[in-house]
Amino acid sequence: MRLVEKSRETKETNIRIVFNPDVPGIVEINTGVPFMDHMLTAFARHGGFSLTIAAKGDLEVDVHHTIEDIGIVLGTAIKEAVGDARGITRFADVIIPMDESRATVALDVSGRGYLVMDGAFTGISTGGIPNDLFEHFFYSLCINAGITAHILFSGINNHHKSEAVFKAFGIALGRALAIRAGNTDVPSTKGTL
Protein backbone atom coordinates (compact mmCIF):
# COMPACT_ATOMS: atom_id res chain seq x y z
CA MET A 1 0.00 0.00 0.00
CA ARG A 2 1.31 3.44 -0.97
CA LEU A 3 -0.33 5.46 1.80
CA VAL A 4 1.45 8.79 2.35
CA GLU A 5 0.86 11.51 4.94
CA LYS A 6 2.56 14.87 4.40
CA SER A 7 2.43 18.14 6.31
CA ARG A 8 3.79 21.61 5.74
CA GLU A 9 3.59 24.52 8.13
CA THR A 10 4.71 28.04 7.30
CA LYS A 11 3.83 31.49 8.62
CA GLU A 12 1.14 31.59 5.90
CA THR A 13 -0.35 28.09 5.91
CA ASN A 14 -0.67 24.80 7.74
CA ILE A 15 -1.40 21.91 5.36
CA ARG A 16 -1.90 18.22 6.15
CA ILE A 17 -2.56 15.73 3.35
CA VAL A 18 -3.15 11.97 3.37
CA PHE A 19 -2.97 10.37 -0.09
CA ASN A 20 -3.56 6.74 -0.99
CA PRO A 21 -3.71 5.83 -4.70
CA ASP A 22 -4.58 2.20 -3.89
CA VAL A 23 -7.79 2.65 -1.88
CA PRO A 24 -10.74 4.60 -3.28
CA GLY A 25 -13.48 6.24 -1.30
CA ILE A 26 -11.98 8.17 1.61
CA VAL A 27 -12.31 11.80 0.52
CA GLU A 28 -12.34 14.56 3.14
CA ILE A 29 -11.42 18.01 1.88
CA ASN A 30 -11.35 21.13 4.04
CA THR A 31 -9.28 23.93 2.56
CA GLY A 32 -11.25 26.91 3.85
CA VAL A 33 -12.03 27.72 0.20
CA PRO A 34 -15.40 26.11 -0.68
CA PHE A 35 -14.90 26.07 -4.46
CA MET A 36 -11.48 24.43 -4.06
CA ASP A 37 -13.07 21.83 -1.75
CA HIS A 38 -15.55 21.07 -4.52
CA MET A 39 -12.82 20.78 -7.19
CA LEU A 40 -10.54 18.58 -5.07
CA THR A 41 -13.43 16.34 -4.06
CA ALA A 42 -14.26 15.78 -7.75
CA PHE A 43 -10.53 15.24 -8.47
CA ALA A 44 -10.23 12.46 -5.87
CA ARG A 45 -13.63 10.78 -6.31
CA HIS A 46 -13.27 10.46 -10.07
CA GLY A 47 -9.57 9.60 -9.76
CA GLY A 48 -10.47 6.60 -7.62
CA PHE A 49 -8.05 7.32 -4.78
CA SER A 50 -8.33 8.40 -1.17
CA LEU A 51 -7.45 11.98 -0.30
CA THR A 52 -7.71 13.89 2.95
CA ILE A 53 -6.76 17.56 2.99
CA ALA A 54 -6.89 19.81 6.05
CA ALA A 55 -5.65 23.30 5.28
CA LYS A 56 -5.56 26.52 7.25
CA GLY A 57 -4.20 29.55 5.52
CA ASP A 58 -4.07 33.31 5.66
CA LEU A 59 -7.38 33.67 3.83
CA GLU A 60 -7.73 37.17 5.27
CA VAL A 61 -4.94 38.09 2.82
CA ASP A 62 -6.33 36.03 -0.10
CA VAL A 63 -6.52 32.42 -1.26
CA HIS A 64 -3.17 32.33 -3.09
CA HIS A 65 -0.92 30.92 -0.36
CA THR A 66 -3.42 28.26 0.65
CA ILE A 67 -4.04 26.96 -2.88
CA GLU A 68 -0.37 27.11 -3.87
CA ASP A 69 0.73 25.26 -0.74
CA ILE A 70 -1.93 22.57 -1.23
CA GLY A 71 -0.44 21.99 -4.69
CA ILE A 72 3.07 21.76 -3.22
CA VAL A 73 2.14 19.32 -0.45
CA LEU A 74 -0.12 17.20 -2.68
CA GLY A 75 2.63 17.00 -5.28
CA THR A 76 5.14 15.94 -2.64
CA ALA A 77 2.74 13.25 -1.36
CA ILE A 78 2.20 11.91 -4.89
CA LYS A 79 5.96 11.78 -5.50
CA GLU A 80 6.50 9.83 -2.30
CA ALA A 81 3.66 7.43 -3.19
CA VAL A 82 5.25 6.81 -6.61
CA GLY A 83 8.59 5.91 -5.00
CA ASP A 84 10.81 4.27 -7.62
CA ALA A 85 7.72 3.88 -9.87
CA ARG A 86 8.12 0.12 -10.04
CA GLY A 87 5.06 -1.40 -11.73
CA ILE A 88 3.09 1.81 -12.36
CA THR A 89 1.37 2.45 -15.67
CA ARG A 90 3.18 5.82 -15.91
CA PHE A 91 1.30 7.34 -18.89
CA ALA A 92 -2.40 8.18 -19.04
CA ASP A 93 -4.70 10.48 -20.92
CA VAL A 94 -8.39 11.26 -20.72
CA ILE A 95 -11.01 13.54 -22.28
CA ILE A 96 -13.85 14.62 -20.00
CA PRO A 97 -16.93 16.58 -21.05
CA MET A 98 -19.01 18.64 -18.68
CA ASP A 99 -22.01 20.06 -20.49
CA GLU A 100 -20.59 22.56 -23.02
CA SER A 101 -17.04 22.28 -21.63
CA ARG A 102 -14.34 19.72 -22.32
CA ALA A 103 -10.96 18.99 -20.74
CA THR A 104 -8.17 16.82 -22.07
CA VAL A 105 -5.36 15.79 -19.74
CA ALA A 106 -2.29 13.77 -20.72
CA LEU A 107 0.13 12.76 -17.95
CA ASP A 108 3.57 11.23 -17.74
CA VAL A 109 4.66 10.31 -14.21
CA SER A 110 8.25 10.69 -15.36
CA GLY A 111 10.00 12.25 -12.39
CA ARG A 112 10.23 15.44 -14.43
CA GLY A 113 7.80 18.17 -13.45
CA TYR A 114 6.39 20.19 -16.33
CA LEU A 115 3.04 21.78 -17.11
CA VAL A 116 1.46 22.98 -20.34
CA MET A 117 -2.03 24.38 -19.74
CA ASP A 118 -3.99 25.71 -22.69
CA GLY A 119 -7.43 27.22 -22.25
CA ALA A 120 -9.03 30.39 -20.98
CA PHE A 121 -11.44 31.44 -18.28
CA THR A 122 -13.59 34.54 -18.65
CA GLY A 123 -13.55 37.31 -16.08
CA ILE A 124 -11.25 37.62 -13.10
CA SER A 125 -12.25 34.76 -10.79
CA THR A 126 -14.26 31.57 -10.49
CA GLY A 127 -15.77 30.50 -7.19
CA GLY A 128 -13.80 33.19 -5.38
CA ILE A 129 -10.49 31.97 -6.82
CA PRO A 130 -8.49 34.19 -9.21
CA ASN A 131 -8.52 32.38 -12.55
CA ASP A 132 -4.72 32.41 -12.95
CA LEU A 133 -4.41 30.50 -9.68
CA PHE A 134 -5.82 27.29 -11.21
CA GLU A 135 -2.78 27.01 -13.49
CA HIS A 136 -0.51 27.88 -10.58
CA PHE A 137 -2.06 25.08 -8.49
CA PHE A 138 -1.41 22.48 -11.20
CA TYR A 139 2.09 23.88 -11.78
CA SER A 140 2.91 23.53 -8.06
CA LEU A 141 1.48 20.00 -8.03
CA CYS A 142 3.33 18.86 -11.17
CA ILE A 143 6.71 20.35 -10.26
CA ASN A 144 6.64 18.76 -6.80
CA ALA A 145 5.20 15.42 -7.98
CA GLY A 146 7.56 15.02 -10.93
CA ILE A 147 4.67 14.82 -13.38
CA THR A 148 4.64 16.14 -16.93
CA ALA A 149 1.09 17.28 -17.65
CA HIS A 150 -0.61 18.71 -20.70
CA ILE A 151 -4.03 20.22 -19.93
CA LEU A 152 -6.28 21.51 -22.70
CA PHE A 153 -9.74 22.87 -21.95
CA SER A 154 -12.53 24.79 -23.63
CA GLY A 155 -16.10 25.81 -22.93
CA ILE A 156 -18.27 28.72 -21.89
CA ASN A 157 -19.04 28.32 -18.19
CA ASN A 158 -16.03 28.78 -15.89
CA HIS A 159 -17.35 26.36 -13.28
CA HIS A 160 -17.80 23.66 -15.90
CA LYS A 161 -14.35 24.28 -17.40
CA SER A 162 -12.65 24.10 -14.02
CA GLU A 163 -14.54 21.02 -12.91
CA ALA A 164 -13.82 19.22 -16.18
CA VAL A 165 -10.10 19.92 -15.71
CA PHE A 166 -10.00 18.68 -12.11
CA LYS A 167 -11.99 15.53 -12.97
CA ALA A 168 -9.83 14.80 -16.02
CA PHE A 169 -6.61 15.31 -14.08
CA GLY A 170 -7.85 13.06 -11.28
CA ILE A 171 -8.87 10.27 -13.63
CA ALA A 172 -5.59 10.45 -15.58
CA LEU A 173 -3.60 10.48 -12.34
CA GLY A 174 -5.45 7.43 -11.00
CA ARG A 175 -4.76 5.56 -14.23
CA ALA A 176 -1.10 6.61 -14.43
CA LEU A 177 -0.42 5.51 -10.84
CA ALA A 178 -2.22 2.17 -11.24
CA ILE A 179 -0.01 -0.86 -10.75
CA ARG A 180 0.16 -3.09 -13.83
CA ALA A 181 -0.71 -6.64 -12.82
CA GLY A 182 2.30 -8.92 -12.77
CA ASN A 183 4.77 -6.18 -13.72
CA THR A 184 7.38 -4.99 -11.24
CA ASP A 185 9.64 -3.19 -13.70
CA VAL A 186 10.34 0.53 -13.61
CA PRO A 187 8.49 1.89 -16.67
CA SER A 188 11.53 3.38 -18.39
CA THR A 189 14.06 2.25 -20.98
CA LYS A 190 16.70 3.80 -18.70
CA GLY A 191 15.73 1.48 -15.84
CA THR A 192 14.96 4.44 -13.61
CA LEU A 193 12.83 7.57 -13.79
Label residue 189 by pLDDT band (50, 70, 90): low
Give the number of other CB atoms < 10 A from CB of residue 83: 13
Instruction: Supply the mean pLDDT for the chain.
Output: 94
Provide the CA 173 distance to its chain's centre, in angstroms. 8
Beta pairing, strands 27-30 & 148-154: unpaired
Label residue 191 by pLDDT band (50, 70, 90): low
pLDDT in tens, 27-62: 999 999 999 999 999 999 999 999 999 999 999 999
What is the mean predicted confidence (pLDDT) over 67-87? 94
Share of the chain above pLDDT 70, in %: 95
Domain ranges of the chain: 4-177
Separation CA 166–CA 137 (nearest Å): 11
pTM of the model: 0.94
Give residue 47's identity as a one-letter amino acid code. G
Strand partners, 18: 5, 52
What pLDDT was estimated at residue 187? 56
What pLDDT was estimated at residue 193? 65
Label residue 2 by pLDDT band (50, 70, 90): confident
pLDDT in tens, 134-186: 999 999 999 999 999 999 999 999 999 999 999 999 999 999 999 887 777 66
Fold of 4-177: Ribosomal Protein S5; domain 2 (3.30.230)
What pLDDT was estimated at residue 31? 98
